Amino acid sequence: MQHSEIQAVKQRFGIIGTSDLLNRAIDIAVQVAPTDLSVLITGESGVGKENFPQIIHYYSHRKHGPYIAVNCGAIPEGTIDSELFGHEKGSFTGATADRKGYFEVADGGTIFLDEVGELPLSTQVRLLRVLEAGEFIKVGSSKTQKTNVRVVAASNLNMIQATRDGRFREDLFYRLNTVPIAVPALRERKEDIVLLFRKFASDFAEKYRMPPIKLTEEAKVLLTNYYWNGNVRQLKNITEQISVIEQQRDITDQILKTYLPKDDIERLPALFSKTGGDQKTFNSEREILYQVLFDMKKDMTDLKKIVHDIMNNQQNDIQSSESHFPSTYLSHKETIFNSPASGTDFMSDKSSRESSKYVGNSNYDETFQDAEEYNELENQKPMTLEDMERQMIKKTLDKYNGKRKLAADELQISERTLYRKIKEYGIE
């Protein structure tokens, strides 16, 4: 696709930027538009994923048909099947009349499923049938209906990880992901940051009838190097704040710093590799939990190794001391350590503790306690990740007396996700 054609698409849909990654995403959207292939758009929250299904619809043969955008994460789990596929009168409490779902209304057009990763598993099965056979059944009905819809989906989750975790059907993922479009984060298109700021500043100056704000060179450098967790949406909000609040129209780096949150280094929590400056960011709260658990397991392994080394050193010291003392004292002493071949098991009795005083090993009692703790760690049955997650959710719910909203805020997950976890784990 030629550069002039991409520029025409940007002007039509109000897209600002010259980044090669952005141009590539637009090019794919226009190329796939004439087909009926399903498209999955991925990217962080705030990058502007909602522009791409509109591009696909406009350049397709369905451009004169309906276009419906559905935010799957904003619809309660109990009503989402009714919203998408419709329901029959009397199919559930409150169903006082027949209702058409989005897939019936959008027949002959395009339906955009935003946050598709939030769909319940039961709804995913229904959606898979629509994609494979173009069929659906209303809630409370036994009659199969046909629909001819182009499905474009989007998600800010790591969808491959979601399929591994069992939160998203693998067959549905590959059905949606026929053509993937990755929308770059703002930090990956640094050359566009100042352009976007200038455009937003001009728009807000016109909206609020005031002179536009301008950045000094130092402020431009600061703006460009900022991490932008919230991407284009965050940049727009900060530009609006500065436009309204600041009396001074020339914005210095010192003024700009007061509006930028302090988490510009990375998306927390994150891990740094020991050998380089690579950073790892997380796309979901489950990924964060897994990483914490893996770190805990690694720390436990290191602790076991340290204790094991201490035990070996103490064993060598005691055996060395025994050869220098009278057999009278040693006759009261039982074998403390088994052979290495039998593992790191420890035995002791009262006489062995007493004899350790004679041989001058003042650290023996402490060593013996460490050995018992080590055995306890070795024999402890490992807890699965699901068990840990279940316990964490249960403790948080107990802390807030079962109030899900407060528990969800504490766990930093959506209330809907918490509800799904409670149901999945059978938490009372």
Gap between the Cα atoms of 71 and 58, Å rounded: 20
Read off the pLDDT of each residue in 144-148 and give the average, rounded to a whole number: 96
- Tell me which DSSP letter residue 167 carries: S
Q: What are phi and psi for residue 366, nearest 5 degrees?
A: -65, -40
* CATH code that applies to domain 3-184: 3.40.50.300
Gap between the Cα atoms of 253 and 272, Å rounded: 28
* CATH code that applies to domain 385-425: 1.10.10
**pLDDT higher for 275 or 413?**
413
pLDDT bracket for residue 397 (50, 70, 90): confident
Mark out the alpha helices in 327-363 (DSSP H runs): 327-330, 350-358
pLDDT value of position 381: 55
Per-residue pLDDT of 5-36, as tens digits, reads: 999 999 999 999 999 999 999 999 999 999 99
Is the predicted pLDDT of residue 111 greater than 60, yes or no? yes
- Tell me which DSSP letter residue 383 carries: P
pLDDT bracket for residue 348 (50, 70, 90): very low
pLDDT bracket for residue 379 (50, 70, 90): low
Per-residue pLDDT of 301-336, as tens digits, reads: 777 778 777 777 766 665 555 554 444 444 444 444
pLDDT bracket for residue 341 (50, 70, 90): very low
pLDDT value of position 344: 43
Residue appearing with tokens 């209906």: 145
Per-residue pLDDT of 63-98, as tens digits, reads: 999 999 999 999 999 899 999 999 999 988 888 999
Query: Which SS3 state, helix, strand or coil, does residue 251 take?
Result: strand
The mean pLDDT of the chain is: 82
Is the predicted pLDDT of residue 375 greater than 90, yes or no? no
Gap between the Cα atoms of 116 and 130, Å rounded: 15
What CATH architecture applies to the domain 189-257? Orthogonal Bundle (1.10)
Is the predicted pLDDT of residue 382 greater than 80, yes or no? no
Read off the pLDDT of each residue in 384-408 and give the average, rounded to a whole number: 83
What value, to the nearest 5°, has the Cα angle with vertex 64 and ends 60 and 61? 25
